[in-house]
Chains A and B, each alone.
Chain A
Amino acid sequence: MKRLIAIVEDEPAIRDNYAAAFTREGYLVRTYGNRAQAMAAFAARLPDLAVIDISLEDEPEGGFELCRQLRALSAELPIIFLTARDSELDAVSGLRLGADDFLTKDLSLAHLIARVNALFRRLDALRKAPDDQEQKVHRGPLTLDAERMRAEWNGKMVLLSLTEFWIVHALARHPGHVKNRQQLMDAANVVLDDNTITSHVKRIRRKFQSIDQAFDALQTVYGMGYRWVE
């Protein structure tokens, strides 16, 4: 059965381009131009994944509101924010509302599709029995499960977004090696500017520190990048 992707985007040209790309990949696509249309359709049938623009027609933050309503309908539905605005504030708000990822429209279609595929993979992995050790990375107290996109620290689950997961994954796979920002962006399949990478790293640290106060494994190498220290 084909998976259903809902695209909520007020710009028809972008909406149709995205729809065409996902259709070509074999997904079923429904597109909506505003929040009211989308909610009406979601009430009838929930999609398998939603791609939502933050500003919707005359609602500058209509995407956040839609995300909240959608999360109320389903706790597990993967939600990806897409926006022209890349300020950190938007990202923080979107992720706090329970979005699974936050991408700017700079992202190429190929990358976007890769991210959507990855999200579905995680969904599938969560539903399967966990046994594949190959996909797992153990670094001291850290355990990363690439199949399910799950991260654990001292056995406790750390809720990372997709981008954050790939950043941690790229660093922890080769502890001590410095990864520059470009390498991290490639690993996470995103195009982000320096400041967005920095704020992602900060958020990752904060998430680990909320579990372990003494967390200090993710270090900044000024002018070069970041590294994972065991």
Chain B
Amino acid sequence: MSLRLKLLLLGLATLVLPWDGIRYAREMEAALRQSEQHELQAVSETMAASLQGRMDLLYRNPGDPAPADTGPDDLTPLVLTAPPYIDGYPDDWPRDASAWRYYGAGAHRFGILTGVDDRMLYVLLEVHDPHLVFDAAGASPLDSSALGDRVWIGYEDPQGVQEQVFLALTGPGPIIARRIETGEYGEETTVEDPRIIGALQPNHAGYDVEVAMPLSMVGRQFGVLLDDRDRRGADPVSYGTLRSSDLHTLGRLIVAAPLLTPYLAQFMQPGMRLSVTTPGGGSVLAQADELAVPGVLAPEPGILTQVYRRFVDRRGEPRFLTSAAPIYDGHHAVIGELQVTQAANRWEGLRDRALTRMLDVTLITSAIAVIVTFIFAAHLAVRLSRLRRASESALTREGLVTQFPETAAPDELGDVARSFSRLMGRLNEYTGYLRSLAGKLAHEIRTPLTIVRSSLENLESEEVSPAARQYLERARQGSERLNAILVAMGAATRVEEAIGNADRLRFDLTPVIASAVSAYRVAFPERRFAAELAPEPIEIEGAPDLIVQLLDKLIDNAVDFSPAGATITVRLLREPAAAVLEVDNPGPPLAPEARGRLFESLWQSRSGSDSRPHFGLGLYIVRLIAEYHRGGVAAADLPGGNGARFGVRLPLADAPLLPNYNDKVKLESV
């Protein structure tokens, strides 16, 4: 794993900040929800207290006995939000199963749903009756032989007088409410009551009846009775909330006081529902509902917020908070119950705002931390790789390590660079000492050698015995050899001096190499030389003398490592930007330990003795001359490992200068 990646992971660790933020937001929300629940309880209790003893405000008929005793015949109308259309179809009634009351049994039964809206009382009867029997058409509603099914409505008027009306079922559609009036002489007549309207529609199991009447007609009591006949004129089966003998009402109509709804409305807030119910929460008397209205602190729109919420919200949390408080009369008797419902997301806006701000800050912090860490890591990696490159090139290139990067940096990396630099400096001094050693040694030995040689020469002029002359001759030969060694040792130094004094001129490489090769044929008769020279002129800039010296050294090397009679190939190629000079010789492959060191000073892989002195300077001189020409050197085995190839690449006179040309040199794979 690279340093860059490691530090990037380190930077990613700061992502724990937003994660922690989300956890914090959740806890905050739970606490908020709890406190909201407490607050809601307090609100509901306060409002319940404000209604304490206000029977008049709760119930339309304040004289009602304790509402806790609601009997089976008492009806508690729903608080309707919109008046149903009186057409016999029940589809515009609220779907509230708990508000239904059922009377009758078996095949003869009906369900009743009552509701109030704006001072009107609405009744829905859902009659289960396999035999719907209409009155005979055109017959008097009092003609007992023509009677079909009939709905009776009985009520106590505000003055406490019992009243009854009936709705004769004459067919689908509107049905008329009538009351029976007894005349002066006991004759009965029917009178239409236009205040009451009704409608009927058959359905698959029976029929539905809708009735609407002004609430002001009704006093304390109210009831419905159904006369169910299986055929026209038969004796009816009667059931409902009226006494079947005299149609006297059995149950009460429990309705909220008209002022209760406005009273509740004054406490309303968006996202809230207030309802007052009969004790035990049985039926809703009045309610003010603004649950669907978004509050001022409603959830904020916005993509980022939604994304955050996705992380924060937990599934299964209730969407509403509900709290209930009993309403007492003056004597600790419960007369009703107040329910407060509040949308759970009322404060989500508040949470979202805090959460968004916090998460924004932490995410930005994390992002900055990651970016800064990454940049730092990249910078560090660049510095390290610069240092690595410098140390590598310092090791491969001999000497001249003057500038080491990063040494001015005040940090630990700078310390490393400085100690590297010092190390390289010492290595450099040491290498320089080694390189100059041969030259210095040659110079120092020359004086005593001159003493020996001049003494020997003087001795030759003296009278010596033949035996002594023999020793004299050996001493002379020894001193000659010593002299040859000195010349070889000083060779690199002299080449360096020659390079320093050489004049650059532009010349064609081909004839220079060609004439040199023909000279080698004479100089080394026991080897054959093949010249593969490019036909076109190859112009480089430099010193032809030095190039010939370079080739001399390569040929020396090739001759030394090839058997007698072998063919040495000299090849000169032209590349787009460089001239390539190669010398192939059959013989042993390059020694593995020699690779990369062949062109260093004082390195040699020759084994065994040789008449000529070798100091590993030949290929070093090749490199010196190649570098003087801004070129590079390389060595490789010939295919099959039965020989070696040494090559020099020199930029053409017109080629752009390449920095560090040495690095670019590679022999074509052979």
A11 touches B494 (CB 8 A): no
Query: Of all chain B residues, which has the CB nearest A24?
Result: B461
The residues of A that contact B453 with a CB separation of less than 8 Å are 108
A199 touches B518 (CB 8 A): no
Interface membership of chain A positions 89-124, coded 1 if the CB is closer than 8 angstroms to chain B and 0 otherwise: 100000000000000011011100000000000000
Instruction: Report how far A109 CA is from B453 CA in the complex, Å.
Output: 9
B497 touches A87 (CB 8 A): yes
Q: Which of B450, B483, B497, B518 lies at the interface centre, i.e. has the most chain A CB atoms within 10 A of its CB? A: B450
B515 touches A13 (CB 8 A): no
| Interface: A17 (CB within 8 A) | yes
Stretch at the interface among A61-69, A73-81, A148-156, A221-229: A221-229
Tell me, rounded to whole Å, the shortest Cβ–Cβ distance linking A183 to chain B: 13
B520 touches A223 (CB 8 A): yes
Tell me, rounded to whole Å, the shortest Cβ–Cβ distance linking B434 to chain A: 20
B498 touches A222 (CB 8 A): no
B545 touches A105 (CB 8 A): no
The residues of B that contact A198 with a CB separation of less than 8 Å are 498, 545
A105 touches B447 (CB 8 A): yes
Instruction: Report how far A193 CA is from B483 CA in the complex, Å.
Output: 12
Instruction: Report how far A13 CA is from B491 CA in the complex, Å.
Output: 27
B454 touches A18 (CB 8 A): yes
A223 touches B497 (CB 8 A): no
Stretch at the interface among B28-36, B332-340, B546-554: B546-554
Query: Of all chain B residues, which has the CB nearest A53?
Result: B447
Tell me, rounded to whole Å, the shortest Cβ–Cβ distance linking A44 to chain B: 28
What is the interface residue range for chain B against chain A? Answer: 35 or more
Please give the number of chain A residues whose Cβ is less than 8 angstroms from any Cβ of chain B in the complex: 29
Interface membership of chain B positions 446-469, coded 1 if the CB is closer than 8 angstroms to chain A and 0 otherwise: 110011011101100100000000
Tell me, rounded to whole Å, the shortest Cβ–Cβ distance linking B453 to chain A: 7
A17 touches B443 (CB 8 A): no
Interface membership of chain B positions 515-532, coded 1 if the CB is closer than 8 angstroms to chain A and 0 otherwise: 111111010000000000
* In the complex, chain A residues 18-35 whose Cβ is within 8 Å of any chain B Cβ: 18, 20-21, 24
Tell me, rounded to whole Å, the shortest Cβ–Cβ distance linking A26 to chain B: 13
Instruction: Report how far A195 CA is from B518 CA in the complex, Å.
Output: 21
A106 touches B483 (CB 8 A): yes
Given the known A-B contacts A11-B451, A220-B545, are A21 and B457 also in contact in the complex, defined by CB atoms under 8 Å?
A: yes
The residues of A that contact B454 with a CB separation of less than 8 Å are 13-14, 17-18, 21, 109
The residues of A that contact B443 with a CB separation of less than 8 Å are 84-85
Given the known A-B contacts A220-B544, A223-B517, A223-B520, are A13 and B497 also in contact in the complex, defined by CB atoms under 8 Å?
A: no
The answer, among A85, A89, A220, A223, for a CB contact under 8 Å with B518, is A223
A109 touches B458 (CB 8 A): yes
B446 touches A17 (CB 8 A): no
Instruction: Report how far A25 CA is from B547 CA in the complex, Å.
Output: 44
The residues of B that contact A106 with a CB separation of less than 8 Å are 446, 450, 483
Query: Of all chain A residues, which has the CB nearest B494?
Result: A195
A21 touches B458 (CB 8 A): yes
Query: Of all chain B residues, which has the CB nearest A105?
Result: B450
The residues of B that contact A216 with a CB separation of less than 8 Å are none
Tell me, rounded to whole Å, the shortest Cβ–Cβ distance linking A150 to chain B: 28
B494 touches A223 (CB 8 A): no
The answer, among A20, A105, A223, for a CB contact under 8 Å with B516, is A223
Given the known A-B contacts A106-B483, A222-B548, are A20 and B458 also in contact in the complex, defined by CB atoms under 8 Å?
A: yes
The residues of B that contact A194 with a CB separation of less than 8 Å are 549
Instruction: Report how far A105 CA is from B446 CA in the complex, Å.
Output: 8
The answer, among A13, A87, A193, for a CB contact under 8 Å with B451, is A13
* In the complex, chain B residues 473-532 whose Cβ is within 8 Å of any chain A Cβ: 483, 487, 490-491, 494-495, 497-498, 501, 511-513, 515-520, 522
A199 touches B501 (CB 8 A): yes
Instruction: Report how far A223 CA is from B491 CA in the complex, Å.
Output: 17
| Interface: A88 (CB within 8 A) | yes
Query: Of all chain B residues, which has the CB nearest A178?
Result: B519
Given the known A-B contacts A195-B498, A199-B501, are A223 and B551 also in contact in the complex, defined by CB atoms under 8 Å?
A: yes
Instruction: Report how far A153 CA is from B494 CA in the complex, Å.
Output: 32
Query: Of all chain A residues, which has the CB nearest B501?
Result: A88
A17 touches B451 (CB 8 A): yes
The answer, among B446, B455, B494, B512, for a CB contact under 8 Å with A193, is B494
The residues of A that contact B457 with a CB separation of less than 8 Å are 17, 21, 108-110
B548 touches A193 (CB 8 A): no
The residues of B that contact A193 with a CB separation of less than 8 Å are 487, 491, 494
Instruction: Report how far A151 CA is from B453 CA in the complex, Å.
Output: 34
The residues of A that contact B516 with a CB separation of less than 8 Å are 222-224
B515 touches A221 (CB 8 A): yes
Tell me, rounded to whole Å, the shortest Cβ–Cβ distance linking B547 to chain A: 8
The answer, among A14, A18, A199, for a CB contact under 8 Å with B447, is A14
A17 touches B498 (CB 8 A): no
Q: Which of A11, A24, A89, A198 lies at the interface centre, i.e. has the most chain B CB atoms within 10 A of its CB? A: A198
A223 touches B487 (CB 8 A): no
Query: Of all chain A residues, which has the CB nearest B488?
Result: A193
Given the known A-B contacts A105-B446, A105-B450, A222-B548, are A195 and B495 also in contact in the complex, defined by CB atoms under 8 Å?
A: yes
A13 touches B455 (CB 8 A): yes
Tell me, rounded to whole Å, the shortest Cβ–Cβ distance linking A170 to chain B: 18
* In the complex, chain A residues 153-172 whose Cβ is within 8 Å of any chain B Cβ: none
B447 touches A84 (CB 8 A): yes
Query: Of all chain B residues, which has the CB nearest A83?
Result: B446
Tell me, rounded to whole Å, the shortest Cβ–Cβ distance linking B2 to chain A: 52
Given the known A-B contacts A13-B455, A21-B454, A193-B487, are A88 and B498 also in contact in the complex, defined by CB atoms under 8 Å?
A: yes
B515 touches A17 (CB 8 A): no
Instruction: Report how far A105 CA is from B447 CA in the complex, Å.
Output: 8
B519 touches A224 (CB 8 A): yes
Instruction: Report how far A13 CA is from B455 CA in the complex, Å.
Output: 8
Tell me, rounded to whole Å, the shortest Cβ–Cβ distance linking A169 to chain B: 22
The residues of B that contact A87 with a CB separation of less than 8 Å are 494, 497
Interface membership of chain B positions 3-22, coded 1 if the CB is closer than 8 angstroms to chain A and 0 otherwise: 00000000000000000000
Q: Which of A86, A106, A195, A221 lies at the interface centre, i.e. has the most chain B CB atoms within 10 A of its CB? A: A195
Instruction: Report how far A224 CA is from B512 CA in the complex, Å.
Output: 11
B497 touches A11 (CB 8 A): no
Tell me, rounded to whole Å, the shortest Cβ–Cβ distance linking A93 to chain B: 13
Tell me, rounded to whole Å, the shortest Cβ–Cβ distance linking A65 to chain B: 20
Instruction: Report how far A14 CA is from B483 CA in the complex, Å.
Output: 16
The residues of B that contact A84 with a CB separation of less than 8 Å are 443, 446-447, 450
The residues of B that contact A220 with a CB separation of less than 8 Å are 544-545
Interface residues of B (CB under 8 A from A): 443, 446-447, 450-451, 453-455, 457-458, 461, 483, 487, 490-491, 494-495, 497-498, 501, 511-513, 515-520, 522, 544-545, 547-549, 551-552
Q: List 23 A-B contacts (CB under 8 A).
A: A11-B451, A13-B451, A17-B454, A18-B454, A21-B458, A24-B458, A84-B443, A85-B443, A88-B498, A89-B497, A105-B446, A105-B447, A106-B446, A110-B457, A193-B491, A194-B549, A195-B495, A198-B545, A222-B513, A222-B547, A223-B520, A224-B515, A224-B522
Q: Which 3 A-B pairs have the closest CB atoms?
A: A223-B516, A223-B519, A17-B454
7 new A-B contacts at CB < 8 Å, known A21-B461, A195-B497, A222-B544: A17-B451, A24-B458, A105-B447, A106-B446, A109-B458, A193-B491, A222-B516
